Structure 1
Amino acid sequence: MTEPGLAEAAQLFKVLGSESRLGLLRLIGAEPRTVGVLVEATGMSQPLVSQHLRTLRQVGLVTTSRTGREVTYALADRHVAHVIEDALAHVQEPHPTDQHTRSTP
């Protein structure tokens, strides 16, 4: 029997497994942004940014609002920002060496 929510969490981590999508989420987490602003900030092509944003929207990580012809993307909630910040803190902290590894003379 699988614990409730594990499949959804696995899908979330699969989507977060892209460096490009993580970067977009960090930018959007700082403040809502349009596709054009995200293209400028990342140097990615407009179609690629749009594709990543579509994926993020499909899994409920971002929301959109429209003003005229511009679509602005925002984080759906702050949980994902915390997950990303915790992951970055984890990979940047020093890790103790494995105590069971023996060095050879």
Structure 2
Amino acid sequence: MISSPDEPIQALHAASELLRALASPVRLGIVRELSGGGKHVHELVTALGVSQPLVSQHLRVLRASRIVTARRQAREIEYSLTDDHVAHIVLDAIRHAQE
């Protein structure tokens, strides 16, 4: 089912904001990497092959959208997904693009 007349417009706006927050190859890559569990920035930098400032910038967007959470561990911060729903969306989109 795509939509119904009874569906609140707020839900459509929220879904639109979620997709907008994911609309970047780097952010999709971050979510893909975090789907396997929490990671530190340096691990994301290595996995994605992009600079640390770029990863940090995209993590800020994902945190602001409540897609990613951060937890301090001594001198480092571990990032993880808020829930698995977003990982399913991203992984399915990547699989679909590869078909």
Same fold (TM over 0.5): yes
Aligned-residue offset at 1:84 = 1.0
Q: For 1:89, which of 68, 83, 95 is the aligned residue?
A: 95
How many aligned residue pairs are there? Answer: 93
TM-score when normalising by structure 1? 0.81
The runs of at least 4 consecutive aligned structure 1 residues that moved more than 3 Å come to none
The equivalent of 1:45 in structure 2 is: 51
Gaps of 5+ in 2: none
- TM-score of the pair, normalised by structure 2: 0.85
Larger radius of gyration: 1
Larger helix fraction of residues:
2
1:24 aligns with 2:30: yes
Q: What amino acid maps onto 2:47 in structure 1?
A: A
CA distance in 2, matches of 1:10, 1:43: 28
Matched, 1:4 2:23: no
Identity of aligned residues (%): 46
**Structure 1 vs Structure 2 CA RMSD:** 1.6
Superposed displacement of residue 31, structure 1: 1.6
Structure 1: tracts of 5 or more residues without a match: 94-105
- Report 1 or 2 for greater relative contact order, CA contacts < 8 Å, sequence distance ≥ 6: 2
